[in-house]
Amino acid sequence: MSKQRNAALILLGVLLLLSMMILNMKSSLERLQSDYDLLQEDYYDIQRKYRELRETQEQLRQKYGSLQERYSFLTGKYNTLLEKYNKLYSEYQELQSRCQKTMEELKVKELLTMPSGLDEHYEEIRRKIYLDEYHFSKKGELSFYALAVLHDVGEIFWTPFYEEFYRIHGVHCSYLSRSFLINLVNYITNGSRGIEGVRLLYEWVRDNVRYEPEEANYPRFPVETLVYGVGDCEDQAMALAALLKVAGYDVAMGLITDDVRGFYHAFTFVRLDGYLRGTWRIGRYEGLGYVWKMLDPAFEHDFYENPAWINQYRTKSGVIISGDVLDAVRLTYEEVMRYLKH
């Protein structure tokens, strides 16, 4: 009996243990089922969100494609408009440049308008003064060149013509010619002085007054040459001398009369103290030393060089032009009168 009782107790214990294990397992299964159900709900929720995201992605992809097409279309239009803009801007710049050039030309044309009555005044002086008094000698020619410059800068005048001009026009001829030259100097130099001012004036005459030999070979007054834009060597030299003179520089007219070489030529000297490159000494003013720069727009030389014609006077000792060949006179009334009396 005792053994049976013990066996029954053991069996009962085992059954109790199994029952407890079954209960625990049931509880675990319930928890697992609950977790599973939650996970399944999360899965279905995620799956729903995933489908929504896929739908959103597809919508965005379609919108992206549409936007890309729109972008490509707008890019094409932009490039077309950019080409048109660049073309219009280029045309605008060209028109602006042409407008500025036209305005510049109109300004120059206005500056280079012959003052009323001066052309007839010059012709009278040439006919009655130059041809009668100065036309027959080297000294006469050079003196008239100098006096014509001094006339236009307003430093001398021939009284009968001066008075007659005022009687007819009510203004002094010297005022018209000097104002013409001052306005042109101001335009060309724009305030530059010294060597730079000389360079600008020389290059403007060189580039804007065309060399043209004259059959009659009667000198033009500086204002005439500047207005018409043509002249032979003395005309160009006188025009440059007048601009330099009215700008305040010390100027001389030079004249070559070389019967041996058959070379007859007029040019301009300007005094540049302290400028050592290619300067000259004028025999008549040798006390001043090598302070004269030669400028010859007829030969179109670079400002910093001498005209090519001096090479025919080059020797082993340098360039030598004798006083019998080269003559020069400074552009003041006193110097011209002294030169005529010499």
CA distances from 294 to 226, 310, 342 (A): 20, 10, 24
Greater confidence, 39 or 331? 331
Query: What confidence tens digit (pLDDT) does each residue in 193-235 have?
Result: 999 999 999 999 999 999 998 766 789 999 999 999 999 999 9
H/E element holding 106? Answer: helix 2-111
Architecture of domain 112-341: Roll (3.10)
Q: Exposed (0-12), middle (13-18) or buried (19+): which is 280, by Cβ within 10 Å?
A: buried
Q: Pick from 219, 210, 268: which is nearest to 244 by CA?
A: 268
Per-residue confidence at 273, pLDDT binned at 50, 70, 90? confident
Q: How far apart are CA 34 and CA 39, in angstroms?
A: 8
Query: What confidence tens digit (pLDDT) does each residue in 74-132 have?
Result: 999 999 999 999 999 999 999 898 888 888 878 888 889 999 999 999 999 999 999 88
Domain-by-domain residue ranges, the chain? 35-111, 112-341
Q: Pick from 311, 312, 313, 293: which is nearest to 303 by CA?
A: 293
Contact 256, 296 (CB under 8 A): no
Tokens of 182: 């001052």
Burial letters for 223-246: b for 16+ Cβ neighbours within 10 Å, e otherwise? bbbbbbebbbbbbbbbbbbbbbbb
CA distances from 234 to 108, 272, 326 (A): 23, 22, 14
Contact 279, 288 (CB under 8 A): no
Per-residue confidence at 6, pLDDT binned at 50, 70, 90? confident
**Please, what is the end-to-end C-alpha distance for the chain in angstroms?**
180
Query: What confidence tens digit (pLDDT) does each residue in 31-55 have?
Result: 888 889 888 888 999 999 999 999 9
Tokens of 4: 């049976």
Helix (H, G, I), strand (E, B) or coil at 114: coil
* Amino acid letter for position 140: G
Q: Which residues is 270 bridged to in the sheet?
A: 251, 293
Work out the average pLDDT over 305-318. Answer: 91
| Average pLDDT taken over every residue of the chain | 91
pLDDT above 90 coverage of the chain, percent:
68
Contact 185, 201 (CB under 8 A): yes
Rounded to the nearest 5 degrees, what angle is found at the Cα of 81, between the Cα atoms of 79 and 82? 60
Query: What confidence tens digit (pLDDT) does each residue in 147-178 have?
Result: 999 999 999 999 999 999 999 999 999 999 99
Tokens of 24: 């625990």
pLDDT at 1: 66
Give Cα 115 distance to the centre of its chain: 30
H/E element holding 170? Answer: none
